[in-house]
Chains A and B, each alone.
Chain A
Amino acid sequence: MVVTSVERRPGTAEDAVAGVVPGEVVRPASVQEVAEVLRETQREGRSVLATGGRTKTGWAPPPASVDVLIDTTGLDRLVEHTAGDLVVVAEAGMRLSALQQRLRAAGQWLALDPSEPGATLGGVVSANASGPRRLRYGTVRDLLIGITVVLADGTVAAAGGKVVKNVAGYDLGKLYTGAHGSLGIVVSTSWRLHPLPATRRVVVLDLADPLDAGPLALTLARSTLTPAAVEVHATTGGSAVLVVVFEAIPESVRAQADATIALLGGGRQGDDLPVEFGQRPGGDGDIVLRLAFAPAALPAVLQALPAGTGVTASACTGVAYAALAAENANLLPAIRTALAPHDGTAVVLSAPTDLRRELDHWGPAGNALGLMRRVKHSFDPDGRLAPGRFVGGM
């Protein structure tokens, strides 16, 4: 049986996800329509993949198949924003930039600053996207307070709620964060908000040797300064720039910027962010890696990369992005080995088309992979949701 009320059309090359053209594209306008579509695919045994702003469709391995692509951008309503509660509820297809614009009027924001402002909330959750200010505010897992999902069989389920403090039941929001659509379709999200900071002050320090960034970041981490972000933009074997961002009341940001220059033994301050701030390195021809490691291991991580690699590191958080030249693809296993002593992992975010199917995108997933498979099986027993995109080929 075909659901007729939902907007649908045949898939085209423009709808492709990591090179895989979907059989059909549907654009539901409500949670109920998403549920209808999933019930239908359940009956017909068809595979399903959801997209939002299409800013990260190149992330993760190519799907094994996409019979039905669910375009979630029709679910773009801001459901509820109670400014006094610093909480917002919005549908998953709403773009982060659109949400921020609405919140700005109330002097608030959702404290997530991934590199893709056009991303939808569902995409941000599913890919666990974050940006430089994760140092101050954390990531999706720290800010998402409620979630509604549609399961593979069309069941609509919610967890959490719209209060910041809530321990009733399992926190399914955590499970769906970074799950890349493999457990169900995120349709609505609730978030803890923060007041927009009054002012910003930025300290920039040029470094002749990128390896100096590690000890300097550690010096900042050991101080009582409260930067919103400490970013390192480096080229291994070349030079680097350290960017320290303060966002607070005017007297605080000025005092902290002065103290930072004293502590670092140099640097210039201003109000504007450098153009590269918040941007991941690399282009279409590169393998873009997300590296995660024990925060103090930044120098070791930089040394594990071949010379000439562009790196953006959120120092003090243990996360960095590296643009590995395509011809260095064979170095990926060695990079993973070098990071391992620092609890480090290297995940391929995006790669040139011809390399996508060859690379081990996720790397080793540890001794909980079996448990992850049981979770996947419990939520999607037929393996129809975003097949092949997640760890272990799930």
Chain B
Amino acid sequence: MTARLTAPTPAAGRTAALTRRLREAVGVERVLTDPAQLRTYECDGLTNFRVTPGVVVLAESRQHVIDTVRLCAEAGVPFVARGSGTGLSGGALPVSEGVLLVLSRLRAIGPVDPDNARVVVEPGVINLWVTRDASPHNLAYAPDPSSQQVCTIGGNVAENAGGAHCLKYGFTVNHVVGAEVVLPDGSVVNLGGTAPEHPGYDLLGTFIGSEGTLGVATSLTLRLVRAPEAVQTMLVGFRSVEDAAGTVGDIIAAGILPAAIEMMDALAIEAAEAAVHCGYPAGAVAVLVIELDGPEVEVDAQFAQVEQIALARSAFETRIAQSDAERALMWKGRKSAFAAVGRISPAYFVQDGVIPRTQLPQVLTEIGRMAAAVGLRVANVFHAGDGNLHPLVLYDDAVDGQAHDAEELASEILELCVSLGGSITGEHGVGAEKRMKMAVQFTSDDLDTMQRVRCAFDPDGVANPGKIFPTPRLCGERPGPRTGEHPLQAAGLGEVF
């Protein structure tokens, strides 16, 4: 914790005045200012980035969100929305002297509308609850990030969360059809709805994945999908990473679209075994978890075909889940992989690069070479079907300089992804962590064009500043009079565009 400045800064004075107004609007008990309490919100799932927020508001209603945003706008104080804080790119990293708007208490989940296959939820609803409520109607909410037991729909929307099954089903943006959004000036708009294709721009599609920089959703209309007739899951062990990667390519080339194809390498397998005893094939250098779903006759035929493809690529073990319990165990190994790495390494960086999937073997070879060159280990976990890599760079923070080397390596892996025609993030978001990498993937004209969107939604730059973009920019043209210093300039975050 950094020492408080003895002389309050202009920004601190503004925050203090805002705190008084927030207490009046949402209730004293929902506004936290105690330094010990504030510190519990200093980071999200990306724990090496920490900022203590100026104030925390624990919203319990839609009106609390509207009031908080409006008061922030009036005071020119930045705000950051937060759900469960499971994000892995620092998207919910607070702004010092800003307001952290916690939405995890907005947990109302509407009745499932089975005929329209829709449900309306508040942003603090946990991802898995939606499928829990939908399943009596044989419906499900498709996006399934590994953190789905704890992450919120609001956070999923902010990051356009994916998951293992997005190979077939798509991402959050494909499953959210409507939203009520509080814009950064405190006004409320309804984007999309129960029906598709409302006249006008697809601002809903633009909002989803904007990482909290365009406003705060207070209500989301989700599209539910029919639970499939059959699901089959196979765990396949390989003695080489190339064979596993080749199998993925062959499955796709055969015209089969699995619900999921996940891959783990030897180090990731070792970690998962140590943590959750998932019983993956002994001696495997790589495993694939392949899941097919759909009509039973189709799944049966294609599943047999997938097994033949794997065997032709020298798979030494193909294990088919005979029950839901066995399927769950296969997935447990995969879904716990990040946390499991903690068992075999004191510390690690999670990365989230994307490559064209045909580049998979080359990328793995190259990552291995880069890791060996700096004497570090990398455990690889992938959504192999869509080329989304999660290299876990292992290091020991007690060893001088290793954290730095690991960070460098993680960074170089992302640049490798971009150089192969990929992306710096497939599902974790850019957040605070990777904003400097945006300039690797995009030109300044690309980034300035994205900022035009930002300027339309948030001309004052008060919604989650310091995220996504390498250089915060102020919107040039502002209607109406302006007095005093811009909040972003005051916070040292901005320069005039």
Interface string of A314-335 (1 = CB under 8 A from B): 0001110000000000000000
Return chain B residues, CB-CB under 8 Å to A372.
200-201, 203
For the complex with contacts A156-B445, A167-B423, A365-B200, 8 further pairs of A-B residues with Cβ separation under 8 Å are A163-B356, A167-B160, A170-B209, A170-B453, A198-B255, A252-B295, A252-B301, A366-B198
Could you tell me if B427 and A165 are in contact, using CB atoms closer than 8 angstroms? yes
State whether the Cβ of B173 lies closer than 8 Å to any Cβ in chain A.
yes
Task: Evaluate whether A378 and B456 lie within 8 angstroms (CB atoms) in the complex, with A295-B117, A365-B199 already known.
Answer: yes
Q: Indicate if B190 sits at the interface (CB-CB under 8 A).
A: yes
Which residues of the partner chain B approach A161 to less than 8 Å between Cβ atoms?
421-423, 441
Which one of A83, A317, A372, A378 has the highest number of Cβ atoms from chain B below 10 Å of its Cβ? A378
Q: A196, B255: Cβ atoms under 8 Å?
A: yes
Binds B, one of A15-23, A171-179, A203-211, A233-241: A171-179
Q: Which of A224-240 contact B (CB under 8 A)?
A: 224-226
* CB pair B446 A174 closer than 8 Å: no
A394 to chain B: closest CB distance in Å?
9
Q: Which residues of A contact B196 (CB under 8 A)?
A: 139, 292, 317-319
> Closest approach, in angstroms, between the C-beta of A177 and any C-beta of chain B?
6
With a 10 A CB-CB cut-off, give which of A170, A175, A372, A379 has the most chain B CB atoms.
A170
Known: A296-B115, A317-B196. A138 touches B201 (CB 8 A): no
Which residues of chain B are within 8 angstroms of A99 by Cβ–Cβ distance?
none
Q: B426's closest neighbor in chain A, by CB?
A: A165
Contact B455 A292, beta carbon cutoff 8 Å: no
Mark B180-204 against chain A: 1 for CB-CB distance below 8 A, else 0.
0001000011110111111111111
Q: Chain A: which residue is nearest B205 at the CB level?
A: A174
**Residue interface bits A351-378, CB-to-B below 8 A is 1, else 0:** 0000000000011111111011011011
Q: B194, B198, B202, B429: which contacts A294 (Cβ < 8 A)?
A: B194
Let me know if A167 and B301 touch, CB within 8 A. no
Is A345 in the interface zone, CB < 8 Å from B? yes
B5 at the interface (CB under 8 A from A): no
> Quick check: A391 and B357 within 8 Å, CB to CB?
no
- Distance (Å) between the CB of B358 and the closest chain A CB? 4
Check B294 against A226 for contact (C-beta < 8 Å).
yes
7 sample A-B contacts, Cβ–Cβ < 8 Å, listed by A number: A159-B449, A161-B441, A163-B356, A165-B162, A167-B209, A171-B205, A296-B113
Cβ of A347 under 8 Å from chain B: yes
Q: How far is the CB of B32 from chain A (nearest CB, A)?
A: 30
Please tell me if the beta carbons of A158 and B442 are within 8 angstroms of each other in the complex. Answer: yes
Assembly CA distance A63 to B323 (angstroms): 61
A164–B387 contact, CB under 8 A?
yes
B197 to chain A, nearest CB (A): 4
CA distance A96 to B173 in the complex (A): 25
The stretch among B37-45, B57-65, B226-234, B372-380 that forms the contact with chain A is B226-234
Any B CB within 8 A of the CB of A142: yes
**Tally of contact residues, B, Cβ under 8 A:** 91
Contact with A along B420-446 (1 / 0, CB 8 A): 011111111110001000100111011
User: How would residues 449 to 462 of chain B score, 1 for a CB under 8 Å from any chain A CB and 0 otherwise?
Assistant: 11011111100000
Once the chains bind, are B253 and A84 in contact (CB under 8 Å)?
Answer: yes
Would you give the shortest CB distance from A186 to chain B, in whole angstroms?
A: 13
Q: Are A224 and B255 within 8 A (Cβ)?
A: no
- The answer to whether B202 and A178 have CB atoms under 8 Å apart is yes
B84 at the A interface (CB under 8 A): no
Tell me which of A86, A155, A343 contacts B449 (CB under 8 A). A155
Q: How far is the CB of B206 from chain A (nearest CB, A)?
A: 5
Give the CA-CA distance A22 to B53 in the complex, in Å.
56
Contact A168–B206 (Cβ < 8 Å)? no
Tell me the complex Cα distance, A175–B357, Å: 27
B195 contacts across to A, CB distance below 8 A: 292-295, 318, 342-345
A283 proximal to B (CB < 8 A): no
Is A82 interfacial (CB 8 A cutoff)?
Answer: yes
- Given A85-B356, A372-B203: A169 in contact with B226 (beta carbons within 8 A): no
CB pair A367–B202 under 8 Å, yes or no, is no
Contacts of A363 in B (CB 8 A): 199
A362 proximity list for chain B (CB < 8 A): 199-200
Residues of A within 8 A of B297 (CB): 251-252, 255
Is B367 an interface residue, CB under 8 A from the partner? no
Asked if B298 contacts A251 (CB within 8 A), the reply is yes
Most A C-beta atoms less than 10 A away, residue of B173, B191, B357:
B357
Q: A86-B252, A162-B421 are in contact. Are A366 and B190 (CB under 8 A)?
A: yes
Q: A138's closest neighbor in chain B, by CB?
A: B174
Q: Does B171 lie at the interface of the complex (its beta carbon under 8 Å from any beta carbon of A)?
A: yes
Contacts of A264 in B (CB 8 A): none
Contact A249 B356 (CB under 8 A): no
Within the complex, the shortest CB–CB distance from A157 to chain B, in Å, comes to: 4
**A165-B298 contact in complex given A171-B206, A174-B202, C-beta closer than 8 Å:** no
B335 within 8 A of A: no
| Chain A window 73-88, contacts with chain B (Cβ cutoff 8 Å), 1 for yes, 0 for no | 0000000001111110
Interchain CB contact under 8 A, A224 and B226: yes
Nearest A residue (CB) for B215: A371
Decide yes or no: A163 and B449 within 8 Å by CB, A174-B205, A343-B194, A345-B198 being known contacts: no
